[in-house]
Amino acid sequence: MPNNLDRAGMSEPRFHIIGISDSHRQYLTPDAENVISVGSVFSGGRRHHELMASRLPDGYEWIEVSVPLQAVYDRYRGKGDVVVFASGDPLFYGYAATLRREFPDSEITVYPSFNSLQMLAHRLLLPYQDMVNVSLTGRPWSNLDSSVIEGRPLIGVLTDKVRTPAAIATRLLEYGYDNYEMTVGENLGNEERERLTTLSLPEAAGTDFGCPNCLILRRMAHRKRFFGIPEDEFHHLEGREKMITKMPARLLTLSMLDLGSRKSLWDIGFCTGSVSIEARLQYPSIDITSFEIREEGRELMAKNSRRFGALSINAVIGDFLSLDLSSFPLPDAVFIGGHGGRLEEMIVRIGDYIMPGGVIVFNSVSDESCETFRAAVRRIGLHVTLSRRLTIDSHNPLTIMQAR
């Protein structure tokens, strides 16, 4: 078969990626053994070399996988067949996916082993077909948070040196999720150093574990997941208890934001955080960036999000009209909860960032602001597609408007 050529004219390598454990007594399939026996160029991390060096043929070349990875990729090019050793299953948050992205035209064959979370489940005799797998290895907390909010009964977690078992336990307890038990597996597959420990989250929060490790969270009890939170359950601005999006308006607002099909919500003028918190609890996977000009909003959001278990809301304090917005996920849904008399200016700025097909929802308390909203969204190429008038108790009527 002729080699594919990369853009530099060098032949793309053919990769044989073999998954191994941390054991000094590796079991490999006959096919994997054959690949090693005829290979000449091998690659992997330093630990992989320690484990496999005695099984490699004479005169082999070793390419160590280390940063910067681009230098590693450059060494692969033009090599023909490259045998790569990776931990566990190379397609489970592993190196095989990385190589597929970098060498999309290369032929890749994978010889998997068990990944660490499978090994931990095996040690526990734990059926794991319903387990949700999450990686926090160099990845954000939100990967775990959505599964916890959903109350998943079994969550497998890959850790790193920052998002450790103790840090995970501390975070869950901070948001009121004390209904999980944690089992940590250290150095799985290593005959001398492997250890399993099962603890409550308070116990885990105060325990250091050896690396590498992974863990499984098992739900021991159900935790209430709020829906339609009453206004008096929130912490409020001092002396301004009425300054909150009322529960019926909040739920109708979320419906009109159409968050089930969205990826990123901007909540502008969050005040108590009620809309962001309700959105997080009902749509745990969506990115939420919340803006508030008052410094008091920082503590309010912290208190209320922890009270209701709404993890991973990015609360930003400052004037929305003067903030650098380029670092935040671009929104395809925007709620305007406060505008400080600068509604038109705010909508024009939103127009610079909202994704194609995005939606803006605004709660209006006057005919004047209704007309301002209509005119402003037309200016940025949107139009009002839905409008609902709502009266709650003895409060003034509220018009909830959606623009697409």
DSSP secondary structure letters along 44-90: E-HHHHHHHGGGSPTT-EEEE--SSHHHHHHHHTT-SEEEEEEES-T
6 pLDDT band (50/70/90 cuts)?
low
Q: What is the pTM of this model?
A: 0.90
Task: Report the alpha-carbon distance of residue 330 to residue 390 in Å, rounded.
Answer: 30
> Which residues, other chains included, contact 302 with Cβ-Cβ below 8 Å and sequence gap of 6+?
315
> Which residues, other chains included, contact 363 with Cβ-Cβ below 8 Å and sequence gap of 6+?
245, 249, 253, 336, 337, 398, 399, 400, 401
Which amino acid, 365? V
State both tokens at 268.
């502008």
Q: Where are the beta strands (DSSP E) in 226-380?
A: 264-268, 287-292, 313-317, 333-336, 359-364
For 313, other C-beta atoms within 10 Å of its C-beta total: 23
pLDDT tens by residue, 33-68: 999 999 999 999 999 999 999 999 999 999 999 999
pLDDT tens by residue, 350-400: 999 999 999 999 999 899 999 999 999 999 999 999 999 998 887 778 999
Cα→Cα distances 52→57, 82, 211, Å: 11, 15, 20
pLDDT tens by residue, 257-311: 999 999 999 999 999 999 999 999 999 999 999 999 999 999 999 999 999 999 9
pLDDT value at residue 1 = 37
Q: Is the pLDDT of residue 2 over 60?
A: no
pLDDT value at residue 242 = 73
Task: Report the alpha-carbon distance of residue 121 to residue 124 in Å, rounded.
Answer: 5
Residue found under tokens 């790569």:
84
Q: Is the pLDDT of residue 239 over 90?
A: no
Cite the DSSP H helix spans in 225-273. Answer: 247-257
pLDDT value at residue 3 = 46
4 pLDDT band (50/70/90 cuts)?
low
- Main-chain dihedrals φ then ψ at residue 42, nearest 5 degrees: -125, 155
Q: What is the mean pLDDT of residues 136-155?
A: 96
For 207, other C-beta atoms within 10 Å of its C-beta total: 15
Could you give the percent of the chain with pLDDT greater than 70? 97
Sort strands 287-292 and 359-364 into parallel, antiparallel or unpaired: unpaired
